[in-house]
Structure 1
Amino acid sequence: MKTLVSILVLAVIAVTSVMANEQTIPLDRAPDRTRDLAALQRGARLFVNYCLNCHSANQMRYSRLRDIGISAPEVESNLLFTTDKVGNMMHIAMRVDDAKAWFGTDAPDLSLIARARGRDWLYTYLRNFYRDDSRPTGWNNRLFENVAMPHVLWRLQGQRVLQSQEESSVPDTILEFSGYRQLTSGTLSAIDYDSAVADLVAYLSWMAEPVQQQRRRLGVWVILFLSVLSLFAWRLNVNYWKDVK
């Protein structure tokens, strides 16, 4: 019993420590594109090209991409690395020891990240990186302060720095966030970058549960069936007890 209590206490401390590093800024609402096959395909390409270098998706096979309309030849031609095969899991070559040496921590697996964090969190997180020379990677994030991850999409978004204004003129003033100042332009406009992030988040959400659309459709039919069954059961019950006084 004491061992269980100790484990629970350590777990609470660990979660509290992680949450302390995360800023409590309002989350932006992520567009729901999990039913849009074109968006999911664009998100899959972004994931493979930008995320899969450091983050694995050990619960997902490349072959599952056929469910969103990417054929096996397209997967082999555009999304596979040299030694990978269509039936393989989405592993990465980077070792845990190397990740800890380079970033101070191992890169988490992203198979279920959308279920763990939520679409809105991911959408806000990927749109709030900024340059910070005090950090080892040169990047920081407003939602997750002092995050170890660099901004892998910076070529698309460009480089930005925080733009703050003083809240008051008294000593020890607090700097209030007032937006970002663009240092260099990215290959995408601000609107196009937000759309690309929405596609990536949609893919991460789909990857966390590829059968979610089928589950929802099945759930509707199950509820309808149970509703009709309940109606028959109610009428049968009324008919059975009608002569009982």
Structure 2
Amino acid sequence: MKKIIILLLALSASSMSIAAGDSFVNEKAHNNIRSTDSLRRGAKTYMNYCMGCHSMNFQRYNRVAKDLDLTEDEMMESLVLTDAKFVDKMEIAMTEEQGNKWFGKAGPDLTVIAKARGVDWLFSYLVNFYQDEKQANGWNNLTLPNAAMPHILWEMQGIQKANFVVETDKDGNEHEVFKNFDQIAEGSMSQEEYRDTVRDLVNFLDYSSEPAKLIRMSYAPWVLLFVSIFTFLAYMLKVNYFRDVH
């Protein structure tokens, strides 16, 4: 628990430190953590596209299987792409030193990224990549400018180019403002299908940041029912006590 708190604080601090430089283009995630099908699709996308560089050191395969109603065989055959065991943590082979050497910056652990950044930020980040030849990796991002991460989902979304216009503020300073995207290469999915895929991925990240949320939400109707019955009984008791009070 202490490690999780430290990681969450570190990610939050990182988020605050770059906030001033973000040209955040907001899109709502509208994810639904209660949808098991969405969580399964998101887990599959994560395992196939994200886990090569991003670990989930505070999550275990068997816990994910339990929460997503998957058997051990279904989990190991469909989602686990390494020789990891069912009870193992969702770790990756790449070390931080290797990540820094190969990519300039190691990919962060994503166990609690949805808590640190928020689901809307994550959704916007994953749909706002665009081609930028000025960047070393060939990509840039409206939500997090000059991000070290390349667009790993470009084959799904396709390639888009960002158009900017120069505007002058009230102090006479000129700055670029995002106008729109031009689709210069089609992906394997339509834009709506791609957003649905990203929504599922963000949904899985939201779940992973707090798996106990599913348990709390399953108990919520019963708690509300208990409170309702208790309130009714308390009211009837009050009526009985004060029946003879004038």
Q: What's the offset of the Cα at 1:227?
A: 4.2
Question: For residues 20-64 of structure 1, what are the alpha-carbon distances to aligned partners after superposition, in whole Å with 9 as ceiling and x for unaligned?
Answer: 332233x21213232222222111110000010100011221122
User: Is contact 2:163–2:179 with CA below 8 Å preserved after alignment?
Assistant: yes
Distance (Å, rounded) in 2 between the aligned partners of 1:41 and 1:121 = 21
Local SS of the residue matching 1:126: helix
Query: Which stretch shows the higher mean deviation, 220-229 or 202-211?
Result: 220-229
Unaligned stretches of 5+ residues in structure 1: 1-10
C-alpha distance in 2 between matches for 1:36 and 1:80: 21
DSSP 3-state at the match of 2:93: coil
Alpha-carbon offset, residue 101 of structure 1: 2.2
Instruction: Determine the C-alpha separation between the residues in 1 that align with 2:52 and 2:132.
Output: 23
TM-score, structure 2 normalization: 0.81
Residue 166 of structure 1 and its aligned partner are, at CA, apart by 4.1
For these two proteins, the number of residue pairs brought into alignment is 232
Q: Does residue 37 in structure 1 map to residue 36 in structure 2?
A: yes
SS at match of 1:98: helix
Matches of 1:12 and 1:207 in 2, distance apart? 17
Distance 1:72 1:201 in 2: 24
8 Å contact from structure 1 (residues 123, 197) kept in 2: yes
Residue 59 of structure 1: aligned partner: 58
What amino acid is aligned across from residue 27 of structure 2 in structure 1? D
Partner of 2:138: 138
State the SS of the aligned residue for 1:140.
Answer: strand
Deviates more, 1:234-243 or 1:50-59: 234-243
Letter in 2 for 1:59: F
The one-character-per-residue Cα deviations of 1:129-168 (angstroms, maximum 9, x if unpaired) are 1112222222111011111211111111112221223447
Which amino acid in 2 is paired with 1:48? M
Following the alignment from structure 1 to structure 2, what is the Cα–Cα distance between the partners of residues 112 and 244?
57
CA distance in 2 between partners of 1:204 and 1:220 (Å): 24
Distance, in Å, in 1 between the alignment partners of 2:13 and 2:72 is 45
Residue of structure 2 equivalent to 1:18 = 18
Asked if 1:212 corresponds to 2:209, the answer is no
Change (3 A) 1:45 1:16: closer
1:194 has 2:210 as partner = no
Distance 1:192 1:16, change over 3 A: closer
Structure 2 gap segments, 5+ residues each: 1-10
How far apart are the structure 2 equivalents of 1:243 and 1:35? 50
Mapping 1:77-226, distance limit 5 Å: 77-167=77-167, 173-226=174-227
- Tell me if structure 1 keeps the 8 A contact 2:164–2:180: yes
Paired residue type of 1:155: E
Q: Which moved more, 1:229-238 or 1:153-162?
A: 229-238
Could you say if the C-alpha distance between residues 122 and 15 of structure 1 is closer, same or farther in structure 2, counting changes exceeding 3 Å? closer
Which residue pairs with 2:3 in the alignment?
none
Among all aligned residue pairs of Structure 1 and Structure 2, give the percentage whose two residues are the same amino acid: 37
Number of the residue aligned with 2:73: 73
